[in-house]
Amino acid sequence: MAKQYQSEWTKKVPLKEQLHIMQRLFGYTKRYKGQFIGAIVAAAGLATINILLPRLLQVFMDRYLAHQRATIQILLGVAVLYGLGVMLKAITQFFQSFLFGMGAERAMEDVRRDLFQKLHQLGMRYFDQTPAGSIVSRVTNDTMTLIDYWNVFLSLLVGSFSIISAFIAMWLISPKIALATAAFLPVLLIVIWYYSSYSARVYRHMREKLSQLNTKLNESIEGITIIQQFRQEKRLTDEFEQVNAEYLKTREAMIRTNSLLLAPIVNLLYTLALVVVLSLFGVSALHSFVTAGLVYAFTTYVGNFFNPMTNMMDSLSSLQDGMVAGRRIFRILDQDEYAPAQDADAANEITEGRVEFKHVSFSYDGKNEILHDISFVVEPGQTVALVGHTGSGKSSIINVMMRFYEFYEGQILIDGHDIRSFQTAELRRKMGLVLQDAFMFYGDVASNIRLFNQAITDAQIRAAAEFVQAADFIEQLPGQYHARVIEGGAQFSSGQRQLISFARTLVTNPKILVLDEATANIDTETEAMIQNDLTRLRQGRTSIAIAHRLSTIRDAELILVLDQGRIVERGNHESLVAQKGRYYEMYQLQNGESVTETADSNH
């Protein structure tokens, strides 16, 4: 897996797929046609100006200077004309770069928007299978690569314009010598082809080494405690040094390649072309007349012909990167691991909060069944407690009920209607889930309770916080409800986070409460608050709880004992204890009589 990931940048994308990816990537530029066309027009204009300016000087030299006819008016006139030309050139240069840059930027951000939107349409299964880091990298880093990718085409375009216009200008002066210059084109193409295939390999190698280097560095910093405790500093350094040296080697190879095949060789070819051009002019000058300005203009065009090459060749390496990035981006956009869908004409409303599972079976992967034939009813306002060991299927019941995952066998009914006959929004509005791990968002306390729902007023937030007894500690914070919440809510204890997440659920006033009670060890006072909160939260609501707390279990109208995806016992606490079955065994398992008694008296 790791090896595959690392070499993705080195693998070649098949040609057919390349074309397909290219086509789709170009699809994103369509919306910004205006900007791209503007940039292309500017590039064409620039190429023309670059031809006209030397032409102006040629005329100036041949008509006036050579014949000693340049009066001060003519000198100033040429200077003004040239000045205007330069200003026009500056303007086209700016627009070519700016318009293309903005077009690429906007198109790239559209890709980002599409990716992000798509992510929210995907089901939990996708997120279970895909590491968060790689998803984030697709949305941010890979899209970034696309800018360079599109820029390749700009530099190719600019280059071709320059070459074509230079050739036309040369042809107008002397078709024969223009053809002689153009004879260098095949040589250049060979150099470009050789460079791009060879440097691509070196470049990829270098990139991979760099990524290894940074991974090693990062990991060594993060794992420093382990490294030091195991006294492995020396070995890790040796390993790092090896990668460091290998990276230097690949970099040196890259420098050598570029020194041999990039700017210096283009310059060499340019000077060789000059030799050819000048010799042809020289030979014809031996028996006919050649003007000075003509030679000047022609040699300048030779420069225009060769100049863009370096840039073009240099940018080619981004082509492959763009392909790899595009491929990974489209893999997400083409992902069909969608979140479970509701009926098209779903329009029911949850009014009572009666929940019924009818013979529900479920598997995450379509192969290994996790839930077998689960049936139970929770009447409005009642509590059902799910009890069982890890892997017994407690969480799966919640996952299925919250529509995080699709199930294919049996039926879940809410108020007597199939769960699919409610719109997702309706389900989310009326069913509140409290997760064991209270996730905090960057922002402030209020925004963490409200989330994005602007309909919730500050007063409601305060009321919710008071109800779950979070108001006390929130009001102690600097800024109170507007106290900043840093990454992951690290400044709060896990108990405080739990209280905030209770408030978050409560403020939406759900009909049905789904609880995944936290087992985390919390200090006694917070623990008492949580116990108290849970009881109060459940009042007047239908509750389905993965129960870890005695209070929840004792209050439950129905306890379901799960084992390997089946309900093996059901009843309330007293009836289950009386039944002397598995629940009773579990209950007895590690507490002696005395403990049970204490628990009872505690209650």
Partner 1 sequence: MGIFKKLGWYFKQESRRYLWGVIFLVLVAVVQIVPPKVIGTLVDLIDTHQLTPQKLIMWLGILLSAAILQYLFRYGWRTRIWGGAAKLERTLRSRLFWHFMKMDTTFFQKHRTGDLMAHATNDLTAIQQVAGAGILTFADSIITGGTTIIAMVIFVDWRLTLMALIPMPLLAVASRQLGAHLHTAFGQSQAAFSRLNDKTQESVSGIKVLKTFGQEEADVADFNEIVTKTIAINKRVNMIDGLFDPAISLIIGLTYIVTIIYGGTLVMHHSISIGQLISFISYIAALVWPMFAIGRLFNVLERGNASYDRVDQLLKETSTIIEAPNAIQTPATGDINYAVQKFTYPGDKQPTLMNVAFTLPQGKTLGIVGKVGSGKTTLIKLLLREYDQYQGVIQIDGHDIRDYSLDALLDSIGYVPQDNFLFSTDVRDNIRFADFDRSQAAVEDAAIASAVHDDILTFAQGYETVVGERGVSLSGGQKQRIAIARAMMTDPEILILDDSLSAVDAKTEETILMNLKTMRADQTTIITANRLSSVMHADEIIVMDDGQIIERGTHEALLAEDGWYAEMWLKQQLSQALGGA
CA distance 274 to 170: 13
Shortest Å, Cβ 118 to partner 1: 10
The answer to whether residues 398 and 517 touch, using CB atoms and an 8 Å cutoff, is no
**Cβ neighbour number for residue 344 with a 10 Å cutoff:** 5
Window 167-226: residues binding partner 1 (CB under 8 A): 213-215, 217-226
Query: Does 252 engage in binding with partner 1 (CB under 8 A)?
Result: yes
- Of the pair 408, 452, the CB lying nearest partner 1 is at 452
Shortest Å, Cβ 52 to partner 1: 13
The answer to whether residues 202 and 254 touch, using CB atoms and an 8 Å cutoff, is yes
Among 7, 11, 12, 86, binds partner 1 (CB under 8 A): 86
Q: How far is CA 341 from the centre of its chain?
A: 24
Window 323-382: residues binding partner 1 (CB under 8 A): 339
Window 570-589: residues binding partner 1 (CB under 8 A): 586-589
The answer to whether residues 481 and 461 touch, using CB atoms and an 8 Å cutoff, is yes
Among 179, 283, 486, 578, binds partner 1 (CB under 8 A): 283
Window 453-472: residues binding partner 1 (CB under 8 A): 453
Mark the segment that binds partner 1 (CB under 8 A) among 102-110, 153-161, 184-192, 365-373: 102-110
CA distance 42 to 97: 9
Among 91, 192, 463, 483, binds partner 1 (CB under 8 A): 91
Per-residue tokens: 508? 């939406």
CA distance 414 to 499: 28
Shortest Å, Cβ 363 to partner 1: 18
Handedness of CA 492, 496, 500, 505 (dihedral sign): positive
The answer to whether residues 304 and 166 touch, using CB atoms and an 8 Å cutoff, is yes
The answer to whether residues 487 and 406 touch, using CB atoms and an 8 Å cutoff, is no
Shortest Å, Cβ 20 to partner 1: 26
Cβ contacts of 48 within 8 Å, gap of 6 or more: 165
Query: Does 490 engage in binding with partner 1 (CB under 8 A)?
Result: no
Binding map of partner 1 across residues 40-79, x = CB under 8 A, - = no contact: -----------------x--xx--xxx-x-x-x--xx-xx
Phi, psi of 459 (to 5 degrees): -65, -40
Which helix (H) or strand (E) is 527 found in, with range? helix 524-538
- Of the pair 281, 330, the CB lying nearest partner 1 is at 281
CA distance 198 to 408: 53
Shortest Å, Cβ 439 to partner 1: 5
- Of the pair 60, 330, the CB lying nearest partner 1 is at 60
Cβ contacts of 371 within 8 Å, gap of 6 or more: 360, 361, 362, 363, 393, 396, 397, 400, 407, 565
Mark the segment that binds partner 1 (CB under 8 A) among 169-177, 235-243, 413-421, 533-541: 235-243
- Of the pair 86, 172, the CB lying nearest partner 1 is at 86
The answer to whether residues 340 and 406 touch, using CB atoms and an 8 Å cutoff, is yes
Among 12, 31, 256, 482, binds partner 1 (CB under 8 A): 256
Per-residue tokens: 30? 């369509």
Binding map of partner 1 across residues 397-436, x = CB under 8 A, - = no contact: -----x-x-------------------xx-xxx--xx-x-
Mark the segment that binds partner 1 (CB under 8 A) among 9-17, 295-303, 309-317, 348-356: 295-303
**Cβ neighbour number for residue 194 with a 10 Å cutoff:** 12
Binding map of partner 1 across residues 110-149, x = CB under 8 A, - = no contact: --xx--xx-xxx--x--x---xxx-xx--xx---x-----
Among 19, 37, 190, 285, binds partner 1 (CB under 8 A): 285
Query: Does 508 engage in binding with partner 1 (CB under 8 A)?
Result: yes
